[in-house]
Amino acid sequence: MKSWSLFASATALVALLAGGCSTLDERQREWIFQPSDRSWGNSEAMSEGMEHVWIDFDSKVTGQPVRLHGLWLGGAPESADTPVLLYLHGAKYNVGGSAPRMRRMHELGFSVLAIDYRGFGKSSKALPSEDSAREDARAAWIWLAARHPKQHRYIFGHSLGGAIGIDLAAQVNDESGTIVESTFTSIADVVGSFKWGWLPFGPFITQRFEAIAKVKNIGAPLLVVHGSADSLINPTLGRKLYEAATVPKQFVLVEGGSHHSTGSIGEVQYRAALAQLFRMKPPTVLAAQAQEEAAAPRVTPAARPMPPADQRDAGSAPPHKI
């Protein structure tokens, strides 16, 4: 499986800068997002049974109508105690490629909505940008809030989606928490973390994704998860993002976790962090509570005793028999 490679992007960027290419912004958007309608492995098969949803809105960024495609994996049964999660994926693969991670989040107790940004999968065809992805995430959040207004709503982002998620959390004030996995502080910091990071790329980066500046503006608890063996996004960037946050927070380093395997390897740590930071109950506990409530006997109010015959209204009707 190929990973999102900023090394190739930065190498090509040097060539473009040397040649004074006028399409620098477009090329960066292509490299960072790598939009496609592809999935990977058997992840597409794992989306079977999920509900397809469509989110329509008019873009203020482009002035064009937009249609986003998403997948919904709800609770069984759905209740007011079931938290809902907006899942924001990373680069290269469509929303179907996130099905395995969606199911893991579902097993942790969430109902999950995952979307494709413009340019991915069945969503509107366009070259995505930081601005358009921000708008897409906000539209999905509004859609989710309208349909689940009474449930706790969380934001989740993986890799590039983590930076988009931090941006969204800084805009809204009705989230119960934000979770980011294998994400970074900024594109400039990612480029700078490589051995050739001393090259002067900074002034030429148009898609900056300055998560470290925006994380200070979020108002709900933050969980930052990173794998110790992540060779794409250095774990120190996840730690720096965590340290910059001012809300209740927790940093989880999953030993041996790679850029893509951290969620599965660190499931036990995930459960512990969700319980500690967000006070989330395991799905088994919620299910047991629902069963107890359903099995509990219903108390019927006792009927009021009839007054003596000589105290009844003369014109009153006789009591109904049940």
pLDDT at site 79:
79
pLDDT at site 76:
67
Q: What is the pLDDT of residues 196-207, one digit of tens each?
A: 654 556 677 889
pLDDT at site 319:
35
Say what percent of the chain tops pLDDT 70. Answer: 78
Q: What is the pLDDT of residues 237-252, one digit of tens each?
A: 999 999 999 999 999 9
pLDDT at site 203:
72
State how far the Cα of 51 lies from the Cα of 248, in Å rounded to an integer.
34
Q: What is the pLDDT of residues 76-111, one digit of tens each?
A: 667 788 999 999 999 999 999 999 999 999 999 999
**One-letter amino acid of 202:** G
Q: What is the DSSP letter of 45?
A: G
State how far the Cα of 14 lies from the Cα of 27, in Å rounded to an integer.
12
**One-letter amino acid of 64:** Q
Is the pTM higher than 0.75? The answer reads yes
Angstrom distances, CA of residue 204 to CA of 10, 193, 199: 11, 17, 11
- Dihedral of CA atoms 58, 143, 105, 269 in degrees, nearest 10, equals 90
* 304 pLDDT above the threshold of 80: no
Kindly give the pairing relationship between strand 65-73 and strand 111-115: antiparallel
Set out the domains of the chain in order of their start, with CATH numbers: 6-294 (3.40.50.1820)
Q: What is the DSSP letter of 298?
A: P
pLDDT at site 81:
85
pLDDT at site 24:
84
Contact yes or no for 115/90 (Cβ under 8 A): no
Long-range contacts of the stretch 269-275 (C-beta < 8 A, 24+)? 269/225, 270/108, 270/225, 271/108, 273/223, 273/225, 274/108, 274/109, 274/223
pLDDT band at 57 (very low <50, low <70, confident <90, very high): very high
